[in-house]
Amino acid sequence: MVIYGVYIVSKSGGLIFNLDLDHNVPNVVNECTFKSPEEVDFKLVNENKRVVVSFGQHDGVMVGHVLIEINGIVVTGTQLDDGRDAFEVIEDASNYPLTLKFTKPKVTTNEKIFLASMFYPLFALASQLSPEPKSSGIEVLEADTFKLECFQTLTGVKFMIISEPGQTGLDTILRKIYELYADYALKNPFYSLDMPIRCELFDSNLKALLDQAEKSHVTNI
Amino acid sequence: MTRRLDPKKVNSELFTLTYGALVSQLMRDYENIEDVNKQLDRMGYNIGIRLIEDFLAKTSTGRCFDFKDTAEKIQMAFRLYLGITPAITNWNASCDEFSLQFDSSPLTEFTELPDNCLGLKYCNILTGVIRGALEMVQMDVTSVFVQDHLVGDSCTELRLKFNKRLEDAIPSGED
């Protein structure tokens, strides 16, 4: 069982919990060294204030990857840590040879909150588009690289798991997570409803559950 | 025996006495008995809106589509959380009101009300719990104790009245 992440969305559509299992998503960093500006065969563009590869794919660097380091200096946004602009550095022949480091872009917490609130109307839309009355919203969403399974409780809280495609038995885990939520988040007197869940006991029990699920390929948890 | 081994189960006497301590503390904090009743109901409400998730997660019950269904599920919840099975009685003609009758309740096991607090609804926390829990599953109900054996009635009776479905709050994908 390979699970990439767990998300909980409140009744009002806000992301109240997210957990990424980074060990299941290997973070690959690729380096390329160039001797002159003419050699740079990546087409780099400024996308959302980041330097992103838009065309040209080799040595493990893919379209969509972002630039994170130039000659060992960290790039934040489009700026190097020493204050220079990344594009200017790459264009300036006097800076060469250059070593560029690329990696997969990370989803920030803000983006996750944004995505979670995007899923909310999609879920509602799906139930309205349905040819049958009284249809639920999206329960499973599959793509070529992942599968999203969503479980909505009667009170309107949504639990979501993102996993490897073709993964089965996620519904049992979702129900287990609901139990943990009822036990450790809601019974904590200092947790107020609809607020982000910051309960250590919930975190640790959830991690234990997911570890167990990952180990046992059959879901007899 | 299996009951005793379950780590999640507690002795009901501990619960009875803790609740007793809570009520007597409230009696000390508030001068007015009406305020104590109100406070108990409010505390119950706050418990109910959380407890419902526990109930749904552990029993995986579905949504209720009539009030009779609801009555049975409330009865089930009493069995689960307090170990008692109240009787469902006194339905009205339009089936939107019923009573829960308790022969005994773990809340009142060692309790005698002194003369100076006859207006106290000792178990009033339950009305709040039921109201809060049902509100979370989009049902607006009124719940009130109409009889209480602590004040000399023959039994304890909790009256529940269905007001309306909270249509606005129904989660999408179910309306």
- The pLDDT of residue A76 is 87
Mean pLDDT of B23-30: 92
What confidence category does residue B161 fall into, taking pLDDT thresholds of 50, 70 and 90? very high
A-B interface: how many C-beta pairs under 8 angstroms?
A: 60
Q: Is B43 on the interface with A (CB under 8 A)?
A: no
**Beta carbons of B107 and B40 less than 8 angstroms apart:** no
Q: Which residues of A touch B53 (CB under 8 A)?
A: 153, 155, 157, 178, 181-182, 186
What confidence category does residue B173 fall into, taking pLDDT thresholds of 50, 70 and 90? low
- The pLDDT of residue A194 is 87
pLDDT, averaged across chain B: 88
- Nearest-CA residue of chain A relative to B166? A155
Q: For chain B, what is the largest distance between any 2 Cα atoms, rounded to a whole number of angstroms? A: 53
CB-nearest to A137 from B56, B60, B172 is B172
**Strand, helix or coil for residue B21:** helix
**Beta carbons of B122 and B41 less than 8 angstroms apart:** no
pLDDT at B7 over 70: no
Q: Which of B47, B172, B174 to mutate to test the interface with A (most CBs of A within 10 A)?
A: B172
What confidence category does residue B3 fall into, taking pLDDT thresholds of 50, 70 and 90? very low
CA distance A188 to B23: 22
The first and second tokens of residue A81, run together, are: 């840590």
ipTM for the whole complex: 0.86
* Helices vs. strands in chain A: H and E counts, helices first: 4, 12
CB-nearest to A178 from B50, B57, B63 is B57
What are the two backbone dihedrals, phi and then psi, of residue B69, each rounded to the nearest 5 degrees?
A: -55, -45
- The pLDDT of residue A12 is 87
Cβ <8 Å between A153 and B56 = yes
CB-nearest to A152 from B53, B60, B173 is B173
Cβ <8 Å between A187 and B173 = no
Q: Which of A138, A155, A157 to mutate to test the interface with B (most CBs of B within 10 A)?
A: A155
Q: Which residues of A touch B173 (CB under 8 A)?
A: 123-124, 126-127, 135-137, 152
CA distance A57 to B165: 57
Q: Of chain B residues 44-73, which have a CB less than 8 A from chain A?
A: 49-50, 52-54, 56-58, 60, 62-63
The amino acid at A16: I
- The pLDDT of residue B174 is 55
pLDDT in tens, B112-156: 888 888 789 999 999 999 999 999 999 999 999 999 888 888 889
CA distance A11 to A64: 33
- Nearest-CA residue of chain B relative to A126? B173
Q: Per-residue pLDDT for chain A (221 aa), expressed as one digit of tens each?
A: 789 999 999 988 899 999 988 788 777 888 888 888 888 888 888 887 888 888 888 888 888 888 888 888 888 888 888 888 888 888 888 888 888 899 888 888 899 999 998 998 999 888 888 888 888 889 999 999 999 999 999 999 999 999 999 888 899 999 999 999 999 999 888 998 889 999 999 999 999 999 998 887 654 55
Mean pLDDT of B95-116: 87
pLDDT at B105 over 50: yes
User: Residue holding tokens 């190097």?
Assistant: A80
Rounded to the nearest angstrom, the minimum Cα separation between A107 and chain B is 27
- The pLDDT of residue B6 is 63
CB-nearest to B171 from A134, A152, A181 is A152
